[in-house]
Structure 1
Amino acid sequence: MGIRRRFGYTKIMNTPDSNSSPAKPDEGDTPSRTATAYHEAGHAVMAVSLGRQIHKVTIAPGKQAFGGTRLGHCEIKKGRTKGANDQLEDDVLILLAGMVAEARFTGQYCHRGADRDLKDVANLLCTRAASSRQHVTLRRRMLAKTEHILSDDAHVAAMTIIADELLEKTTISGRAVRHHFHQAQQQHS
């Protein structure tokens, strides 16, 4: 099965200030590595909650096809387990979820770290917004919706578990992501 879209970091991000500390610090993990784990966990949790199938999630550094580096990525398979009401909206929510999840850890958005995701969001929203004002309004609504969805206790728990496992193993399978997501859903229902 082919990979549909990759969501993840494209540039080296700003590290959080010394006053912020990770939710669960692990020995040997830097704040930027932990932030990357939360970023990728956010993409994965949003994707699974919207019915997408995950191939794998990693925080291993790598190169992009057209140059540049990325700190991690979430590979999503083609297809979905449930029908989407609006595929474009789902794609935007998944793209924004990395930055939103990371901000739960660092306390602020890292626009530089989510640069590729934000460019993809802008490209997608241009197909819906006729003017720049509509574009800004739509982006603001999508960001608020992403924050709302990821503020659910079960989603927060799933992101934390997935981020912890990424810090431990660097790469995890889509099956492990689904397992952690469903386990968090059961614990918080």
Structure 2
Amino acid sequence: MDDDETLTAYHEAGHVVVGYLLGARIDEVRLGSMIEDCLPNRFGDCMINWGRINDRCCWQLQREVMTILAGPVAEMIYIAERLHPAHHGPWKSDWQQAAERSAESFSDPEKQTRFLEAVIVTLHEKMSGESFWAAVAAISDELLAHESLEHEQIAETVSYWL
């Protein structure tokens, strides 16, 4: 079943699990947009709360970029096909967001692209692990069943698997 809703559930689950494991509080995730008048191609939303941060900190940049790109990587794993987020329509906004977030750290666009691509490779390797993927699949299943999840449900599901 590769319908848009299932792909969206895996996409959002990727953001959720990676963000949660990197220390964010995931306030809510849902199928469908939380923003009125959103673009028609926006099928899901994930509200991530990093708490008090220094947004110039290298570690914070890495956490945010990994979390942003985890959505496309989860879909790549689910469909068993590696596509480049910069060139695959549904993931272009994730790539653009990761590029914008990392732009200040890279004066050379080629180095920035290599950094983002290295993040994707690392995420693919880690997220393909049995326990990690089980957590992504469990969050996806819960999203498909309930359409939205809040922090407590997310924490319980992810901590069960990881």
TM over 0.5: yes
Q: Structure 1 unaligned runs (5+)?
A: 1-20, 23-30
Note the C-alpha offset of 1:148.
Answer: 2.2
Letter in 1 for 2:39: G
Asked if 2 retains the 8 angstrom alpha-carbon contact of 1:129 and 1:138, the reply is no
Match of 1:40 among 6, 9, 12: 12
Question: Which residue of the partner structure matches residue 66 of structure 2?
Answer: 93
Question: Which residue of the partner structure matches residue 102 of structure 1?
Answer: 75
Match of 1:143 among 113, 120, 128: 120
Greater percentage in strand? 1
Match of 2:96 among 119, 128, 136: 119
Secondary structure at the counterpart of residue 133 of structure 1: helix
Note the C-alpha offset of 1:171.
Answer: 0.5
Q: Deviations over 1:131-164 (max 9, x none)?
A: 1221221112111122122122221001111101
Q: Structure 2 unaligned runs (5+)?
A: none
Larger mean Cα displacement after TM superposition, 102-111 or 52-61: 102-111
> Which whole-Å CA distance do the structure 2 matches of 1:139 and 1:54 have between them?
23
Letter in 2 for 1:56: E
Task: Please provide the CA RMSD for this pair.
Answer: 2.0
Seq. identity, %:
26
Greater percentage in helix? 2
Note the C-alpha offset of 1:77.
Answer: 2.0
Larger mean Cα displacement after TM superposition, 35-44 or 98-107: 98-107
Asked if residue 184 in structure 1 is aligned to residue 161 in structure 2, the reply is yes
Q: Would you say how many aligned residue pairs link Structure 1 and Structure 2?
A: 153
Q: Deviations over 1:106-155 (max 9, x none)?
A: 22346311222111111122212221221221112111122122122221
Letter in 1 for 2:80: G
> Which whole-Å CA distance do the structure 2 matches of 1:124 and 1:76 have between them?
15
Question: Which residue of the partner structure matches residue 8 of structure 1?
Answer: none
Q: Which runs of 4+ in 1 moved over 6 A?
A: none
Asked if 2 retains the 8 angstrom alpha-carbon contact of 1:157 and 1:184, the reply is yes
> Which whole-Å CA distance do the structure 2 matches of 1:157 and 1:85 have between them?
29
Secondary structure at the counterpart of residue 51 of structure 1: coil
